Each structure stands twice: as C-alpha cells, then as structure tokens.
Amino acid sequence: MAKLLVPLVMLGAVAGSHRCPPRCLCPAAAPNPTLLCARTGLLAVPPTLDRAAVELRLADNFIGAVGRSDFANMSSLVHLTLSRNGLRRLAPGAFADLRALRALHLDGNRLPALSGAQLRGLASLRHLILANNQLAAIEPAAFAAFAATVEDLDLSHNNLPALPWEAVAGMASLATLTLDHNLLERVPAGAVARLPRLARLDLTANRLRALPPVPGPPGPSLAAGGNPLHCNCELLWLRRLARPGRLESCASPPPLAGRLLWAVPEEELACRAPAIAGAAADPAAVLEGQPLRLGCAAAGDPPPALHWLGPDGRLVQNGSRRAVGADGSLELRVATLGDHGAFTCVASNAAGEAAARVQVAVLPLPVPRGDGDGEGEAGPGPSDMARAGGNESRATAGERRVVAAELTGSSARIRWLPQRHLPGIRMFQIQYNSSLDDSLVYRLLPPSSRSFVLRDLAAGRQYDLCVSALYAEGAAALPTPRALGCVRFATPGEAPACAALPRPHFLGGTVIIVIGAAIAASVLVFILILTARYKAAAAARRPPAAVASVCSQTNGTH
C-alpha cells in the first residue's frame, strides 16, 4: 500500500507545481510541460494555464472565442491545437505573445475571415492548419508575420473564391499548399513559379477553368481533379504531365466534355485566334468636354484579352479621363481635341491577335459672336493649344474659348470668354488632372471670374483642363453644368544648372550680406576715428616738464 501511495504523491506534487487546470491532464513523464485539455467540455480557455507550457491541446471543446489575454506571456509554447471547437472569433493579437510557436491547428472551426491583426506575432510559425472552416476572405496582411518561415499551409474545405496570391507568392519556405474544396476560379500566371521550395500543390474540387504552367520537371506534385477545365492549347503542359490514373477531366469544349485529360490526344487541344465582331463609338462625334464610350466585342478560344491604343499609338491606361472596363469597353469621361482620330481595339490570346480601328470625332465648342444672346455662333479654332496671350474681355470669331497663359514651372493662368449668352450662371468649375497622379482636381469660382491662376502644378508635366459653367434657369432649380472648353498644356521643365538665373531668395541674401558688410565697415571706421582723436587729446594734456625730464634722462644732456 505504501508503495502505491508514493507515486501518487509525487504525481500530485508535479501537477501542483505546473498548476494543472481542472479537467486537464499534465503528464509528469513529458520532457517539457504539456497540457492535455482535449474533450473536456471547456467553454473558454482556462485562465490557470501554465505559462511555461511547451505544448497545449484544446481540441474537441466548445471554445467559441479566443481573447487577447488567453495566451498572454506563453512565450515558450511551441505547439497549439484548437481544432474542432466551433471557434467564430479571434481577437486581434490573440497570438501576439507566442513568438516560439511552430504549429497552430485551427481546423474544424467556424472562422468566417482572417484579418491582418489576428495572426500577428507568429514569427516562428511553420505549420498553419485552417482546413474545414467557413473562410470566405483573407486579407493579404494576414500572412505577413510568418511569410518567411511557414512551410505547410492548409486552407482546404473553405469558401474561398480568391486568395491573396501576392502574399502567398512571398512565402519562400512554403513546401505544401493545400487549397482543395474551395471556390477558386483563377490562379494568376507566375504565382506558383515564385515558390522555389513548393513540393505539393492541391487544387482539387475548385472552379478553375484554366491552370497556368507550374515549374518543372522536376516540379511540385499537382492535384487538380474535379475542376471544370476548358481543354485547349493552354493545357498542353498539363496533358504532357498527365498519366493514366490522374483525375483531371475536361468540362469544355463540347467535343471533349467528360473526357479525362490524359486520354485526349494533343492535336485535339487546339486554340482559335481572336476575331473582332464589332467595334464602335457611342456617340461617334461629341463636343469637347463631353463623355464618350467605345465598345469592342471579340471572340476566340481562349477568350481574348482586349486593350486599346490611342490616336497617338500609345497604350490607353486607366486614369482620370479614361477608364477601360472589365468587358473591354473604353470610356472617355471628358473628351478633348487630343482624342480626335482613330482608336485601335486589340484582341489577343495564345493563338494570335486581331485589331480594329474606331474613328472618333471631337468637335471644338462653338464661340458666340459679339455680346448678344448667342444666336449666331461660329466654329472656333482648336482650344487645346496653349497660348501666351488672350486677356481680351470680349470674344471674336475664331477665338479660343479656354486659354492657358503665363506658363511657369509651377503655375499657369487660365482664361475663358465671358458668358453673357448664358443667363443665371451660379459659378464656374475648373477640373484638371493632379500633379501627383491622374485623379481629377476641381476648383469652383464665382460667376464674375474671367481667369484663374493655378499654383499647384509640377514642372515638365502635361495637363488636361476643362472649364464648365454651372447655371440655373430658376431660383429653385438645380445648377446644370455646361462645358465651355478644354485646353491641353504642358508646364516648362526645370532649366539646366548652367543656364539657371540667380533665384530671388539668393539675390536677396546677397544684398543683405553686402549691406551688413557696409554697415560693419562704417562702424569700424568710426571706432578708429574716435580712437585716434582720443589719443591726440591725451597727448595734448600731458605736462611739458615730464617730457623734458624724459629726454634728459635718455640723452644724458639738456
């Protein structure tokens, strides 16, 4: 009996030293402090946890949330299991103190999303298991803390329609990426190629119609069965890797639907060059300052990507005035005379490309004759040419409606014609592209304005500026904008250093230095004059006998 009591007493003493929580097991034989609290019916993380524990298992409980202080000061914890708890909420910074944690199991819970702060502080994490949750979104910053150390990432059996691929591509040590049974529709080209140590990639049972090539051979082991793949020439690389027994199958085109990819001959995996069905502008002609939309429809296999070239032959990109839609349409929010000409719609895919030209007519705004009611109007010259003059108060036929004058590297004066033919003008509006990016900047001016000086410009930059009048026919009516004209101008670049003139502040500093030096010299001369006069007066006041005595003593005779 005594022999049986001694081990029990020792076990109790060890358990007491580790402060074993109620309903948990703390094995004394474990080399490191270990807490086994699985299947104990816990509703929350026990507050009496041993903060020196190395392994903590809390699986198969009813813990619905993890707070910020539940795992505080557990800097020695290496393995944490919270599987199958029904977790719905992770507080920001819940694992911030677990700097030594290497494995975190959160599978079998009900987490709806992951934010950047929830997994903060896991600087040593190597295995992250998030399978069988309800994840529908993951922020790119969620993986930032352990991007350099994680080796195993399991996100299978969730509801993810997309993945932060840029964040995943930065995981230099990642060896296993499990993404099966999600709603993924796309894998970006090059995302897998940026994972140098990837050994296994599971994309089974998603919604992928295409797969970008993976590096190899040798490359990662790939599983992509259960996806509605569109079998064409873009999957030739996968067909050459396929072997009997693989489960990748074709969902389209109809002749190949239902067939296993490895059983389809390579010559049947064909692509079709794009063909443009139609391209047009709506409307075909507009006044400057008005919006315009260009549409383009193309067919091909795979579906071609659409982009536009401007009348100058340059690629059109999204900006403040131009926007390319997801369907390939091009929207010109504010048309200028620089948009007059032929735009080119280019459709391209793996089999080739096709192009179609769309003519766009941008007409200059008419200018009223004289100062009457504006019934007679004449077409002016182009208003997108900068002019350095033009401060007249009345318009003549052929005069530009909007003028950019007095251009410097940081400012420009914008002038426009008086609008006496538009009654009820409430204000004028100026809009132009920002000096930092292509976003629009707006200025509202009183109705009496005829010019305005822009002082926030950048040297050597091109600007597209439009002036509109906001007028209302009645006192209660809402203001209606009417475009007066647009102008395109460029600020001069900075002059070279050799030709640069002295700057005003430099000249001012030089003048101040010269004046200060003159004042100092005057004061010095005045002090010298006073010193000389003082010495002369002192010499005149000395007694003559003293002088004779000195001479007698010096020469020895009188």
C-alpha to C-alpha distance for 357 and 278, rounded to whole angstroms:
10
C-alpha to C-alpha distance for 14 and 23, rounded to whole angstroms:
16
C-alpha to C-alpha distance for 111 and 384, rounded to whole angstroms:
57
User: Which burial class, exposed, middle or buried, applies to 194 when counting CB atoms under 10 A from its CB (0-12, 13-18, 19+)?
Assistant: middle
| 351 in a structural domain | yes
7 versus 219: the higher-pLDDT residue is 219
- Give the domain-ending residue among 454, 473, 491: 491
Domain that holds residue 303: 272-363
* 279 touches 304 (CB < 8 A): no
Predicted confidence (pLDDT) at residue 379 exceeds the cutoff of 60: no
Predicted confidence (pLDDT) at residue 1 exceeds the cutoff of 50: no
Confidence of residue 367 (pLDDT cuts 50, 70, 90): low
CATH value at residue 440: 2.60.40.10
Element (H, E) at 307: strand 305-309
Predicted confidence (pLDDT) at residue 5 exceeds the cutoff of 90: no
- Dihedral of alpha carbons 186, 191, 193, 198, sign: negative
The pLDDT value recorded for residue 146 is: 93
Confidence of residue 244 (pLDDT cuts 50, 70, 90): confident
Pair 486, 414 in one domain? yes
Tell me the two tokens of residue 160. Answer: 């993810």
What would the mean pLDDT of 228-245 be, rounded to a whole number? 84
Predicted confidence (pLDDT) at residue 345 exceeds the cutoff of 90: yes
Q: Can you give the C-alpha Rg of the chain in angstroms?
A: 41
| 175 in a structural domain | no
| 392 in a structural domain | no
What would the mean pLDDT of 147-173 be, rounded to a whole number? 93
| 352 in a structural domain | yes
Count of the separate structural domains present in the chain: 2
Pair 358, 425 in one domain? no
The pLDDT value recorded for residue 507 is: 60
| 116 in a structural domain | no
Predicted confidence (pLDDT) at residue 406 exceeds the cutoff of 90: no
pLDDT tens digit string along 76-87? Answer: 899 999 999 999
- Give the domain-ending residue among 469, 491, 513: 491
Predicted confidence (pLDDT) at residue 554 exceeds the cutoff of 80: no
The pLDDT value recorded for residue 31 is: 62
pLDDT tens digit string along 112-138? Answer: 999 989 999 999 999 999 999 999 999
| 266 in a structural domain | no
N-term to C-term CA, the chain: 140
Of all residues in the chain, the percent with pLDDT exceeding 70 is 80
C-alpha to C-alpha distance for 189 and 470, rounded to whole angstroms:
49
- Give the domain-ending residue among 344, 363, 382: 363
Pair 409, 343 in one domain? no
pLDDT mean across residues, the chain:
80
C-alpha to C-alpha distance for 377 and 419, rounded to whole angstroms:
13
| 237 in a structural domain | no
| 284 in a structural domain | yes
Pair 278, 351 in one domain? yes
- pTM for the predicted model, two decimal places: 0.60
